[in-house]
Structure formats: C-alpha cells, structure tokens
Amino acid sequence: MTDEDSDTPVSELQGGEENDLPVIQLCGLVEELSYGNSALKAETEMFEKYYNKLEPRDQRHPRLSEIKMSGAEFAQLRGRRRSKSRVGTDRVIGLSCDQKCELVQKELEDMKDEIRHMRANAERDLQHHEAIIEEAEIRWAEVQRAVHEFKKDILKTISKKKGSILATQKVMKYIEDMNRRRDNMKDKLRLKNVSLKVQRKKMLLQLRQKEEVGEALHDVDFQQLKIENAQFLETIEAKNQELIQLKLVSGNTLQVLSAYKSKLRQAMEMSINLDKEILLRNELLEKIEKETLQVEEDRAKAEAVNRKLRKQLAEFRSPQVMVYVREKILNADLEKTIKTWERKVEIAEMSLKGYRKAWNKMKTTNEQLQAICPPEK
C-alpha cells in the first residue's frame, strides 16, 4: 500500500513527461517498471504465503492472483485506493528491511525443511523400490536354479529311462524335496523375523532413551557439540586437502607409469629385434666356423702338397750339359717321328675313305643286280 501511494505522484509527473521522451527511453522505462513489478509480485506472493501460514484458514483473505475483475472495476478500485491512500498515508506503516529479511529467512528455512522432507521421502521410496528389485532378482535366480535342477535331475533321467511309473516317482520325490526345503526356509525366515523384531524393539528403546537424554541437554552440551562439529569439519577439510594431494600424486604417478610402460614396450621391441639379430649372427657364426674348418682342411692339404713339392725341389738335381743336349736331340727326333706318323695316319685315313666309297659303290651295284636278276633255284 505505501509503495503504491508513494509512486502515484511520481507516475503523474512521469505521465506528463511521457510525451516529451523518445521511444528508446520509453522502452527502457517500461522494462525497468516491468522488472520492478515482477520483483514486487514475487515479494507480495511470499508475504501472502507467510501471512496465510500465520492466519487461520477461515479468516484468510483471497489473494490478488485469485481475484478476477474487469478493467473498469480494477481502475475504480485503484482510484479508490489512491484516494484512501492520500487521506490516510500517515496511518499505514510498511515493513522494514529487517522484517522483510526475517520473513525471507523463515520462508527459506521452510523451503529447506520441505526439500529435506521430500528428499527423505524420495530416499525412503528409492530404498523400498531397490529392496523390491533385489528381492525380485533373488527370487528370479532361485527360480532359474530350480528350473536348472529340475531339468538336470528329472528331465534328463526321464528321457534316458523309460517307464511312466519311474518318472512319476522321480517327480513326486522332487516335489517333496522342494516342499521340505521351503519348510526349512520358512522356519529360518520366521526365526530371523523374530530376531529382527527383538532388535527393532531394542533400537526403539535406545532411541527413546536417547531422545529423553537429548531433552535433558543444556546449552553447554550444545556448545560442546558445536565445538566438536567445528573440529570434525576442520578434520574433514584437512582430509579433503590430503585427498586432493593424493589424487594429484596419483595422477602424476599414472603419468610416470604410462611413460615407463611406453619405455618398457620400446625396450621389449628392441629386445625382440636384438634376439632376432643374435640368431642371425649365430647362424652366420656357424657358417663362418664351417668355412673356417673347410679352409683349415684346405690349408692342411696345401701345406702337405707344399711340403711334398719342397721335398722334391730339395731332392732335385740338375743333369749334366751333354746329357741334356742328348735328351733335347732325342726329343726333337721323337717329335719329328710323331709328325711323320701323324701324316701317315692322315694318308691312311684318306685311302680308307676312298676304299669305303668304292666298297659302297660295289655294294649298291650288287644290290641293283640282285634286284634285276634274282638268283635261280
């Protein structure tokens, strides 16, 4: 109410000056007023919400957002409110900033409580659904295991052995065993349920005792708890810092480890290449050793031949001059004799060729004569 009354003369002055303002300033003024109106609207809704919490439901006034009226009625109501505000401006007192801040803090605390309750309910529902899912998974695993055991124990044996009586006995025995197992499981669950109920009673009793002890706590205890909480928060902060440092060290360690891994991979590749090269060198060394042995054998043979030749050279004695001359003359005579005999052989071969030609002619003529005049019987 006070804000509207204080704004009326300013709005009248601005209404007189609107004709002189340009369009850009008018747009800026409209945006500023709309922003202020939105802030006032949010503030008014918050105040109405807080007022409705304090006021009983039967005596609550309708909200401004719930009131529906036409434009003329709204203008008439606004004019009446302006006239009343001009008359009784001194009687209306607005909220101070401290009161507004207190209201906002209370509203914020209420919202936090609502969010906390909603989160607790959501967590409880989530735990409930997770328990249902876990139970369904366990049940499904049990069903699958039972189906597997039934197929393994009953169906395979029935398919191998013939006879309906034996199959019926097998099935009945299997059903009895399953019922016995379920009875045992039921007894175990009943005992477990009883023990859980006893534990629940104990926990409720302990909780009630803690609540009674908590009601008897004094301000000194709360102060001590605050101090301990602050100490724990400092410890948590120190641990968080230590955790951050450890994460950094872990990151650096991972980087160093990756670098060493890459070096190790390179070293392994180099080692593999060196192993291959060593194998090639060993093969080459074996070949060289074989060639060396062969060369040693050849050298031994050559040395033996060399020793033999050296021995012959050492034992060689040059003949006398006259003997050498006679041998040379004899050699020349022998060469001449060889040449004459070679000439005689050539002449004999030529005469042999002539005799062969004559013989062939005689042979052909004889064959022709025999062909013309066959011999008489």
Tokens 């001059």 appear where? 321
Task: Say which range, 67-76, 88-97, 214-223, has the weakest mean pLDDT.
Answer: 67-76
Six-digit token string for 224:
């001590």
Name every residue whose Cβ is closer than 8 Å to that of residue 2 and which is 6 or more positions away in sequence.
85, 89, 92, 93, 94
- In the predicted model, is pLDDT for residue 53 greater than 50? yes
- Nearest Cα neighbor of 41 from 64, 19, 25 is 64
Q: Write the pLDDT tens digit of every residue in 245-279.
A: 888 888 888 888 888 888 888 988 998 999 999 99
- Nearest Cα neighbor of 43 from 114, 84, 95 is 95
How many other CB atoms sit within 10 Å of the CB of residue 45?
13
Calpha distance 32→191 (Å, rounded): 72
- Sign of the CA dihedral running 200, 202, 205, 209: negative
**Distance from CA of residue 109 to its chain's centroid?**
44
Calpha distance 362→354 (Å, rounded): 12
Confidence of residue 183 (pLDDT cuts 50, 70, 90): confident
**Distance from CA of residue 342 to its chain's centroid?**
100
Q: Determine contact, residues 61/114, Cβ cutoff 8 Å.
A: no
Decide which of 159 and 223 is more confident: 223
Q: Determine contact, residues 174/154, Cβ cutoff 8 Å.
A: yes
Q: Write the pLDDT tens digit of every residue in 117-172.
A: 899 899 889 988 998 998 889 889 888 888 888 777 777 766 665 555 666 777 77
Calpha distance 320→297 (Å, rounded): 41
How many other CB atoms sit within 10 Å of the CB of residue 158?
16
- In the predicted model, is pLDDT for residue 218 greater than 70? no
Q: Determine contact, residues 4/79, Cβ cutoff 8 Å.
A: no
> What pLDDT does residue 280 have?
93
DSSP 88: S
- In the predicted model, is pLDDT for residue 19 greater than 80? no
Sort 349 into a burial class: Cβ within 10 Å, 0-12 / 13-18 / 19+.
Answer: exposed
Helix segments in the chain, DSSP class H = 2-17, 23-54, 71-87, 97-150, 156-160, 164-215, 219-315, 321-372
Q: Write the pLDDT tens digit of every residue in 289-338.
A: 999 999 999 999 999 999 988 888 888 777 678 888 888 899 999 999 99
**Cα radius of gyration rounded to whole Å, the chain:** 64
> What pLDDT does residue 289 have?
92
Task: Say whether 132 sits in a helix, a strand or coil.
Answer: helix
> What pLDDT does residue 64 have?
45
How many other CB atoms sit within 10 Å of the CB of residue 110?
13
> What pLDDT does residue 101 have?
80
Tokens 């049990």 appear where? 142
Model pTM score: 0.32
- In the predicted model, is pLDDT for residue 92 greater than 50? no
Tokens 């060493």 appear where? 260
- At what angle are helices 2-17 and 71-87 packed, to 10 degrees? 110
User: Which sequence spans correspond to the domains of the chain?
Assistant: 2-94, 242-316, 318-377
Mean pLDDT for 92-115 is 77
